[in-house]
A and B are shown apart, each in its own frame.
Chain A
Amino acid sequence: MTRKRWIEGGVLLGVVALCLVWWALSRPAEQGAMAEVWYDGTLAMTLSLSEDGRYTLAEDPTVCFQVEDGKVRFVDATCPDKVCEETGWLEKAGEMAVCLPRKTRLVVAGESDGPDIIAR
């Protein structure tokens, strides 16, 4: 009776240990998700999606971004159409929003498994 419990306990511990190891190994990858901000065709800044907060584009301080829970979006757009803001939260690799009046593009870094391009 006691022996069976020990074995069960051991197996359980082993499984838990494996799970912990797997979690510890896979976590940094998720934390590494980044967003890139491109201004007029050049990479202007990168944002870590694990650091919640508000960010301002140095090249044009009227352009602001918000990072929250691993997602990113344009906020407080001062441009007339606000298309960038309405694009909403970006989370998956390759998702992007473009602000035409401010020549700014926000994109989640990484390979997307969607189409090569979206005809807008």
Chain B
Amino acid sequence: MVIKALRIVLALAAAAAACVLFWMLVQKKQQQAAVSIPEPEIIYTGEDFIMDTYVSQKTCGEGADQLIPQAAALLEELEKEWSAWSADSVPGRINAMAGVSPVTLEPAEYDILRQVMDFSTETGGVFDPTIGPLVKLWDIGGESPSVPSADQISTALSYVGMENVTMDDENLTVYLDRPGVALDFGASIKGYGVEQVLKLYQESGVQGALISLGGNVAATGQKPTEDGGTEDFVIGLRDPLGSATDYYGTLVMNDKVICTSGGYERYFEQDGKRYHHILDPATGYPAETDLLAVTVIGEDGLRCDCLSTWLFMSGLDTVKEHLEEQDYAVIAVDNQNRIWCSSSLKDAFALTSDRYTLAS
């Protein structure tokens, strides 16, 4: 009796051991298979810190690695050309000559400036590139930002306003009418940069590529998958109420520039109050808005970047009026946790977080 039982136990143990051995063999074989077949996917990634923000790239296909330093170099050039903090940049040269003399620009530079100025006029000065003195005063994102005194703010505000800028379309000159007036392109040039990188990708014929520059993103082509196929890039939209790794929805959108503005990314806190980086040229303080984030999607990166900033400042009512535009689409998150989305995005956008509801 005992012997028979022992036999059964032994047989079971042997069967179990055999199962385990077989399973391990299968595992090993799979591993070997994975090693012997060359990886079908070629995906390169790159990261840099340019224009005061985090830049990440993903490029796919043979030779696509070369695009990464090319795009980074392009953005570094733009940074040199447009940084408000550099004396040699376009705003640096113009600001240094404020009240002294007009500055002549290259046609491409003048064209960018013209577009930003026109946008400012279009918004009645709600969006204003002469916000430079306020940006410098607050220094949000700098080493030790603090809330300026009311006096400091009203002094800085006295230098803000489009009426201080004179542009000459024939001679391509720009003149600021007194010392202290200063241009700042922080709210527009990143979108332009992403558009330029997107063009670089498109012209290279790359299989697929993706760029992210702060809140600005663009994708083109497709990425290879493990089984040898290809698929679209998926762009997550950051959850303004969550942490930096949370997203409230996804967007599949190629060959467009996607610009997002929100008060959550760059800010400082003082006495329990949060001060974000989007300053209102009317009050001199961070913009009070009923929106948490605004994403604008279109082909003109410079305009989309300006639009997302302007819509964020202007609030939900303005967003509602501009949901169905011809040349751009909008996704906005309001402070009631509702998502407002252009109807043209219905197939491209998917809400993935149950913290929010779709309002349109």
Q: State whether these chains interact.
A: yes
Interface, chain A (partner B; CB < 8 A): 2-3, 6-7, 9-11, 13-14, 17-18, 21, 25, 38, 40-41, 80-81, 83, 86-88, 90, 95-98, 100-101, 103, 105, 114-120
- Which bucket holds chain B's interface residue count? 35 or more
Taking CB atoms, residues of chain A closer than 8 Å to B54 are 98, 100, 105
Q: Which residues of A contact B216 (CB under 8 A)?
A: 119
Top 9 A-B pairs ranked by shortest CB distance? A6-B5, A115-B236, A10-B9, A118-B236, A115-B234, A14-B16, A87-B244, A119-B217, A103-B49
Contacting residue for B8 out of A7, A95, A103, CB 8 A: A7
Report if B12 contacts A (CB, 8 A).
yes
Query: Is A116's CB under 8 angstroms from B233's CB?
Result: yes
Give Cα A107–Cα B40 distance, bound, in whole angstroms: 25
Decide: B9 and A13 in contact? CB cutoff 8 A. yes
Q: How far is the CB of B322 from chain A (nearest CB, A)?
A: 19
Quote the shortest CB–CB distance from B157 to chain A (angstroms). 23
Q: Which residues of A contact B268 (CB under 8 A)?
A: 80-81
A3 proximity list for chain B (CB < 8 A): 1, 4-5
Q: Is the CB of A11 within 8 A of B47?
A: no
Q: Shortest beta-carbon distance, A110 to chain B, in Å?
A: 13
Which chain B residue has the least Cβ–Cβ distance from A112?
Answer: B245
A93 to chain B, nearest CB (A): 11
Separation of A6 and B13 alpha carbons in the complex (Å):
13
Alpha-carbon distance between A88 and B246 when the two chains are bound, in angstroms: 11
Asked whether, in the complex, the Cβ of B235 is within 8 Å of the Cβ of A117, the reply is yes
Contact of A83 among B24, B212, B244 (CB under 8 A): B244
Q: When the two chains form their complex, are residues A14 and B15 in contact, meaning their CB atoms are under 8 A apart?
A: yes
A80 to B5, CA, bound (A): 72
